[in-house]
Structure 1
């Protein structure tokens, strides 16, 4: 590696091996995050260590929180950058399978399960928001249009491969038209606006909504 900018005397940077366990997070930052003329550097580094623990599943939210705490906009005298990288958690399933009863009170449970599973798999905050809304709409469509009968569960299947998320929301009954077309029918257009691909499949085995989105695209 090249010597640091401004170093005149010969110096050899120290190199130490570091072993990461599955799920560990590395935080890289510029000096603008911790250096202040009027503050002790060791104290700021200790503050960084305290603020950075624990680490949220959503690394983007984690970075925002650390920067806003240590370097609020009105206190920044230098450029500030922070990067957080997490090793893949051991045993993190790349497939999610849920059976959700047709109950509007289960929407929050569905969203939280999807977010918690998807956050460590390369999804950005925008991805998480878009998927949460799209899955909610697909679930609502299954409840409204599905013909599986009272209490029939809605099956949600999701998988990530090569950075692409694929979700299927299935109801065991045939498609039923909305009772009020004047105020309803906006679910599919909204899903298409949020996802890269939306496909509705109707057959003898029920109704399925397929959602596809490439993760990490900004």
Structure 2
């Protein structure tokens, strides 16, 4: 059974649904609870939506999406070809129509961080044991 996967998907607004389907299958094969699956799909969707809204595609017009399970932790990452100075969650309210992605990731994931060595890679970790 695979404990990791790396996919390159089109840099398009339809990509979150493709990635969610693949991640849900991966997590189901790895016997993740429904709570883990739900939280992971939310985090991954926000990561991809942020990349498409604020990043740039790689040279081949895609983005790289990774997930892996090790030591009871699920790690997710989304890499685009853009470069930014910093990424920080912003406060939002119920009426906000945008700008909520990093705040949602921050609230749902156990930990998240950004690596800007080669493009912009947003990473998040979630415990495989959700309460």
Band of TM-score, shorter chain:
0.7 to 0.9
| Pairing partner for 1:137 from 22, 33, 46 | 46
Runs of 5+ unmatched residues, structure 1: 1-91
Offset of residue 127 of structure 1 = 0.8
Residues 1:185 and 2:99 are matched in the alignment:
yes
Q: State the match for 2:129 in structure 1.
A: 216
Q: What SS class does the counterpart of residue 99 from structure 2 fall into?
A: coil
TM-score of the superposed pair, with normalisation by structure 1 = 0.51
Change over 3 Å in CA distance of 1:108–1:147 after alignment to 2: closer
Structure 2's unaligned 5+ residue stretches are 91-95
Is the CA contact 1:115–1:132 (under 8 Å) kept in the aligned structure 2? yes
- Matched with 1:159 is 68
Which residue is 1:47 aligned to?
none
- Give the deviation of 1:185 after TM superposition: 1.9
Task: Give the whole-Å Cα distance in 1 for the aligned partners of 2:4 and 2:62.
Answer: 19
* Equivalent position SS for 2:14: helix
CA gap 1:136/1:166 in 2 versus in 1, 3 angstroms: same
What is the aligned partner in structure 2 of residue 206 from structure 1?
A: 119
With the length of structure 2 as denominator, give the TM-score of the two structures: 0.83
Superimposed CA distance per residue, residues 112-164 of structure 1 (whole angstroms, 9 cap, x where no aligned partner)? 10000111324110110111111010001111111337972110111101211
**How many correspondences in the alignment?**
123
Q: Secondary structure at the match of 1:104?
A: coil
Question: Counterpart of 1:138 in 2: which secondary structure?
Answer: helix
Structure number with the bigger relative contact order (C-alpha 8 A, sep ≥ 6) is 2
